[in-house]
Amino acid sequence: MYFSVRKLFQNAAYLITANIGQAVLAFVQGVIVTRTLGPSEYGVWGVILAFSGMTQAFLSFRTTEPLTRYLVEYKQRKDNSSLQLLLTTALLTDLATRVLAYGVILALSPGVAQSIAGGVNAIPIFGIYGATVLFGFADALWYCVARDQKKFQLLAVIPLILASVQLAGVFILWKLERLDLTGLAMLFLGISMLRFFINIVYLKTTIYRCYGIRLWGLNWREWYGRQKELYGFWYFMKITYLSSMVSTLVKNGDVLILGYYRSDAEVGWYRLAKNLVAMIQQVGGALASVLYQDLNELIVAKKMGDAKRGIIRFSKVWVPTVLVGVAFAIIVAEPVIGLVYDVAFLPAAMLFKILIIGAFASLGVFWAQPIVLALGKINCNLISIVVSSIISISGMIYLGYYYGAVGVAWGYVSMWVTVNMMLVYCFRTN
């Protein structure tokens, strides 16, 4: 077992290709949705997504990173009993916290709709879209198991198929002249239910075949009595939960802050710019996901030093390449947005140029967080996120009050720049 940049890109190639495909589909879908809804209704849709996402992140434990860490360890030790306990615990934890999250969405959505965006008529839409939270409890386990089994084709194809179905649904609603906020919420709920069915079928057939265990093979008393065996998993998850909870204030709170200060139309411009930047960041997300799995396997094989040297050499070529791509995106942003999305969304071009600075920071050093977590420096990761989030939220509240979407955008960028600088420092000082 050794670290190879070529192997990293080979394993991530399926995910990157699929992410590009999803970005194209999301781009087409975005054009249809934004042109149909207009800036104001698109801004309300952005608030609905941001509120549901933030509530879910606040109340749901982030199981992916600790699950990956201990899945690799228990599999290497051939400890099927602990592996069964781990997988069952992760699934039940996600289920319980997502049920709680949906309850909070239902309870708070009337206040959010009336004070931030949408008004009374948007309250049912919050409830419909919020139900998507319930059907995502198997996502983390499905992703970790498929990645552990090196099923990168599956990880790439399933989301791409679902994105295609979603685009087809948007097109049908548009042709039937039913493409409104209610129609969109119901469509997204249907897609989440389909994804849930696929996840459960895969887990039911794969876990027993590959690991020789059954998820529901533990009785409740045995499951509860053995939780002390998972101390490392629970501690890791507690730290990642805290970091995720804090960073969520920035990743979703920006839209809510802007919606409180400014019009729904301005929120719509900001949401469009943020979506376009997110498409670019998907490349870094795919690479980071594969790298984290590889790093955990290298730690078990005691080959971490080789990986660190390889990452440093790779960055000397990768960072300039990303910089050129970002510069090109800035140049073409205004004409593309004006031509494709309509002149009503032209203010989003300036916001895109600001937000893409944050994309450069995260994409240029996409390896920073995976390697810090793989090294077990979870407290360093937490401190980095907390400090950068405090700076960012303070900036968004202050600058957003005076400068609206432009101020919120600069506050958002400050989080990505600060957190990645601190993570790189953690890596260099290990």
Phi, psi of 377 (to 5 degrees): -90, 55
pTM > 0.85: yes or no: no
Non-local CB neighbours of 429 within 8 Å, separated by 6+ positions: none
Confidence of residue 417 (pLDDT cuts 50, 70, 90): very high
- pLDDT (tens digit, 9 = 90+) per residue, 48-82? 988 888 888 788 777 888 888 888 888 888 888 88
Domain count, the chain: 1
- pLDDT (tens digit, 9 = 90+) per residue, 220-253? 677 778 888 888 888 888 887 877 777 777 777 8
Confidence of residue 293 (pLDDT cuts 50, 70, 90): low
Segment 137-150 shows an average pLDDT of 87
180 three-class SS: coil
Segment 411-418 shows an average pLDDT of 92
- Enter the DSSP assignment of 262: S
pLDDT of residue 20: 76
Question: Which of 366, 361, 203, 375 shows the shortest CA–CA distance to 304?
Answer: 375
378 three-class SS: helix
Q: 139 is in which domain, residue-wise?
A: 5-428
Angle at 214 between CA 209 and CA 220, to 5 degrees: 170
Segment 104-114 shows an average pLDDT of 90
pLDDT of residue 430: 61
- Enter the DSSP assignment of 252: T
Mark out the alpha helices in 341-404 (DSSP H runs): 347-364, 368-374, 378-403
Rounded distance between C-alpha atoms, residue 295 and residue 337, angstroms: 39
